[in-house]
Protein backbone atom coordinates (compact mmCIF):
# COMPACT_ATOMS: atom_id res chain seq x y z
CA UNK A 1 0.00 0.00 0.00
CA UNK A 2 1.15 3.50 -0.78
CA UNK A 3 -0.97 5.05 1.99
CA UNK A 4 -0.02 5.10 5.68
CA UNK A 5 -3.64 5.34 6.87
CA UNK A 6 -5.02 1.84 7.45
CA UNK A 7 -7.62 0.42 5.10
CA UNK A 8 -10.47 0.56 7.63
CA UNK A 9 -9.87 4.28 8.20
CA UNK A 10 -9.69 4.87 4.43
CA UNK A 11 -13.07 3.15 4.09
CA UNK A 12 -14.58 5.14 6.99
CA UNK A 13 -13.48 8.48 5.62
CA UNK A 14 -13.76 7.92 1.86
CA UNK A 15 -14.47 4.62 0.13
CA UNK A 16 -17.50 3.50 2.15
CA UNK A 17 -18.65 6.95 3.26
CA UNK A 18 -21.66 8.42 1.48
CA UNK A 19 -23.98 11.38 1.73
CA UNK A 20 -26.69 10.20 4.12
CA UNK A 21 -30.34 10.84 3.28
CA UNK A 22 -31.93 9.25 6.37
CA UNK A 23 -30.81 9.12 9.98
CA UNK A 24 -31.65 7.31 13.19
CA UNK A 25 -33.02 9.38 16.06
CA UNK A 26 -29.82 8.92 18.12
CA UNK A 27 -28.75 12.43 19.23
CA UNK A 28 -25.51 14.08 18.22
CA UNK A 29 -23.97 15.51 21.39
CA UNK A 30 -22.13 18.75 21.99
CA UNK A 31 -19.13 16.63 22.96
CA UNK A 32 -19.14 14.96 19.55
CA UNK A 33 -19.32 18.28 17.73
CA UNK A 34 -16.52 19.67 19.94
CA UNK A 35 -14.34 16.63 19.17
CA UNK A 36 -15.02 17.03 15.44
CA UNK A 37 -14.05 20.70 15.49
CA UNK A 38 -11.00 20.09 17.68
CA UNK A 39 -9.76 17.64 15.05
CA UNK A 40 -10.54 19.50 11.84
CA UNK A 41 -9.41 22.95 12.98
CA UNK A 42 -5.88 21.82 12.07
CA UNK A 43 -6.66 21.52 8.35
CA UNK A 44 -4.51 23.90 6.28
CA UNK A 45 -5.77 27.21 4.93
CA UNK A 46 -4.06 30.24 3.40
CA UNK A 47 -2.44 32.40 6.09
CA UNK A 48 -4.03 30.06 8.65
CA UNK A 49 -7.35 31.81 7.97
CA UNK A 50 -10.27 30.46 9.94
CA UNK A 51 -13.34 31.91 8.21
CA UNK A 52 -15.64 28.90 8.70
CA UNK A 53 -18.52 29.51 11.09
CA UNK A 54 -20.80 26.69 12.22
CA UNK A 55 -24.35 27.40 13.33
CA UNK A 56 -25.91 24.35 15.00
CA UNK A 57 -29.66 24.21 14.50
CA UNK A 58 -30.96 22.35 17.56
CA UNK A 59 -34.26 23.89 18.65
CA UNK A 60 -37.50 22.76 16.96
CA UNK A 61 -38.38 26.39 16.20
CA UNK A 62 -35.07 27.05 14.46
CA UNK A 63 -35.32 23.76 12.57
CA UNK A 64 -38.77 24.72 11.28
CA UNK A 65 -37.43 28.10 10.14
CA UNK A 66 -34.54 26.41 8.33
CA UNK A 67 -36.65 23.73 6.64
CA UNK A 68 -38.70 26.46 4.93
CA UNK A 69 -35.55 27.52 3.07
CA UNK A 70 -34.55 24.04 1.93
CA UNK A 71 -35.28 22.75 -1.56
CA UNK A 72 -38.32 20.46 -1.55
CA UNK A 73 -36.22 17.30 -1.87
CA UNK A 74 -34.13 18.30 1.15
CA UNK A 75 -36.91 19.33 3.52
CA UNK A 76 -37.92 15.98 5.05
CA UNK A 77 -34.37 14.82 5.77
CA UNK A 78 -33.46 18.19 7.25
CA UNK A 79 -36.58 18.12 9.43
CA UNK A 80 -35.69 14.71 10.87
CA UNK A 81 -31.86 14.67 11.08
CA UNK A 82 -30.57 14.54 14.68
CA UNK A 83 -28.47 17.66 14.09
CA UNK A 84 -28.23 20.23 11.34
CA UNK A 85 -25.36 22.67 10.85
CA UNK A 86 -25.29 25.78 8.72
CA UNK A 87 -21.75 26.32 7.45
CA UNK A 88 -20.88 29.89 6.53
CA UNK A 89 -17.89 32.09 5.74
CA UNK A 90 -17.09 35.01 8.03
CA UNK A 91 -16.07 37.83 5.70
CA UNK A 92 -14.44 39.68 8.61
CA UNK A 93 -12.07 36.77 9.34
CA UNK A 94 -9.09 39.06 8.77
CA UNK A 95 -9.55 40.64 12.20
CA UNK A 96 -8.21 37.38 13.71
CA UNK A 97 -5.14 37.14 11.46
CA UNK A 98 -2.67 38.93 13.77
CA UNK A 99 -3.43 36.24 16.37
CA UNK A 100 -3.75 33.28 13.98
CA UNK A 101 -0.79 34.12 11.76
CA UNK A 102 1.72 35.85 14.06
CA UNK A 103 4.59 35.22 11.62
CA UNK A 104 3.07 37.88 9.33
CA UNK A 105 0.53 39.99 11.26
CA UNK A 106 0.55 42.71 8.59
CA UNK A 107 -1.24 40.28 6.22
CA UNK A 108 -4.51 41.54 7.70
CA UNK A 109 -4.08 45.00 6.20
CA UNK A 110 -1.77 44.21 3.30
CA UNK A 111 -4.00 41.60 1.63
CA UNK A 112 -7.45 41.90 3.17
CA UNK A 113 -8.23 45.58 3.67
CA UNK A 114 -10.75 45.51 0.80
CA UNK A 115 -14.06 43.67 1.17
CA UNK A 116 -13.97 41.88 -2.24
CA UNK A 117 -10.57 40.35 -1.41
CA UNK A 118 -11.88 39.21 1.97
CA UNK A 119 -15.02 37.67 0.48
CA UNK A 120 -13.01 35.74 -2.09
CA UNK A 121 -10.52 34.44 0.48
CA UNK A 122 -13.25 33.68 3.03
CA UNK A 123 -15.28 31.71 0.49
CA UNK A 124 -12.36 29.59 -0.70
CA UNK A 125 -10.89 28.89 2.74
CA UNK A 126 -14.24 28.29 4.44
CA UNK A 127 -15.06 25.80 1.67
CA UNK A 128 -11.81 23.99 2.48
CA UNK A 129 -12.76 23.98 6.14
CA UNK A 130 -16.26 22.73 5.29
CA UNK A 131 -14.70 19.73 3.52
CA UNK A 132 -12.55 19.07 6.59
CA UNK A 133 -15.68 19.30 8.73
CA UNK A 134 -17.45 16.65 6.66
CA UNK A 135 -14.43 14.33 6.96
CA UNK A 136 -14.41 15.02 10.70
CA UNK A 137 -18.07 14.02 10.97
CA UNK A 138 -17.15 10.72 9.30
CA UNK A 139 -14.14 10.30 11.63
CA UNK A 140 -16.59 10.55 14.56
CA UNK A 141 -18.48 7.55 13.18
CA UNK A 142 -21.36 9.72 12.01
CA UNK A 143 -22.76 10.40 8.57
CA UNK A 144 -22.96 13.80 6.91
CA UNK A 145 -25.55 14.98 4.44
CA UNK A 146 -24.15 18.19 2.92
CA UNK A 147 -26.60 20.15 0.79
CA UNK A 148 -26.50 23.28 -1.33
CA UNK A 149 -30.12 22.79 -2.42
CA UNK A 150 -31.20 25.64 -0.18
CA UNK A 151 -32.14 29.29 -0.47
CA UNK A 152 -28.80 30.54 0.86
CA UNK A 153 -29.85 34.17 0.87
CA UNK A 154 -32.95 33.24 2.86
CA UNK A 155 -30.76 31.32 5.32
CA UNK A 156 -28.43 34.31 5.64
CA UNK A 157 -31.33 36.63 6.45
CA UNK A 158 -32.92 34.11 8.85
CA UNK A 159 -29.83 33.03 10.81
CA UNK A 160 -26.77 35.15 9.96
CA UNK A 161 -25.84 38.73 9.12
CA UNK A 162 -24.29 40.65 6.23
CA UNK A 163 -20.76 39.68 7.31
CA UNK A 164 -21.47 35.96 6.90
CA UNK A 165 -22.01 34.12 3.62
CA UNK A 166 -23.76 30.74 3.97
CA UNK A 167 -22.11 27.94 2.02
CA UNK A 168 -24.18 24.84 2.75
CA UNK A 169 -26.38 23.01 5.22
CA UNK A 170 -25.16 19.69 6.64
CA UNK A 171 -27.39 17.06 8.23
CA UNK A 172 -25.48 15.00 10.81
CA UNK A 173 -26.21 11.74 12.60
CA UNK A 174 -26.09 7.96 12.53
CA UNK A 175 -27.31 6.71 9.14
CA UNK A 176 -30.85 5.38 9.12
CA UNK A 177 -32.64 2.81 7.01
CA UNK A 178 -32.00 3.11 3.26
CA UNK A 179 -29.67 6.04 3.95
CA UNK A 180 -27.62 5.75 0.77
CA UNK A 181 -28.21 6.20 -2.90
CA UNK A 182 -26.11 3.87 -5.07
CA UNK A 183 -22.50 4.96 -5.34
CA UNK A 184 -22.09 7.32 -8.29
CA UNK A 185 -19.11 6.94 -10.62
CA UNK A 186 -15.88 8.83 -10.11
CA UNK A 187 -13.36 9.93 -12.72
CA UNK A 188 -10.30 7.73 -13.09
CA UNK A 189 -6.79 8.90 -12.25
CA UNK A 190 -5.83 9.35 -15.91
CA UNK A 191 -8.88 11.56 -16.49
CA UNK A 192 -7.85 13.96 -13.76
CA UNK A 193 -4.07 13.92 -13.34
CA UNK A 194 -1.58 15.28 -15.88
CA UNK A 195 2.15 15.71 -15.57
CA UNK A 196 4.04 18.62 -17.11
- Identify the CATH homologous superfamily for domain 30-174: NADH Oxidase (3.40.109.10)
Cα 13 to its chain centre, rounded Å, is 14
Task: Write the pLDDT tens digit of every residue in 29-68.
Answer: 999 999 999 999 999 999 999 999 999 999 999 999 999 9
Alpha helix locations (H) across 48-165?
60-67, 72-80, 97-100, 107-112, 115-139, 152-159
Side-chain half-sphere CA neighbours of 124 within 13 A: 11
Cβ-based neighbours of 71, under 8 Å, separated by 6 or more = 147, 149, 150
Task: Quote the pTM value.
Answer: 0.95
**Domain limits, the chain:** 30-174
**Mean pLDDT, range 82-87, rounded to an integer:** 98
Task: Say if residue 105's pLDDT is above 80.
Answer: yes
Amino acid sequence: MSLVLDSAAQDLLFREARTANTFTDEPVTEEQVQAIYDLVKYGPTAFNQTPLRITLVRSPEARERLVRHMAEGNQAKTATAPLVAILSADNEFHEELPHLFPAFPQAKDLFFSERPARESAAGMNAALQAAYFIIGVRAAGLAAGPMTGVDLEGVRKEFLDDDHTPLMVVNIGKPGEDAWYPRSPRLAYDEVVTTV
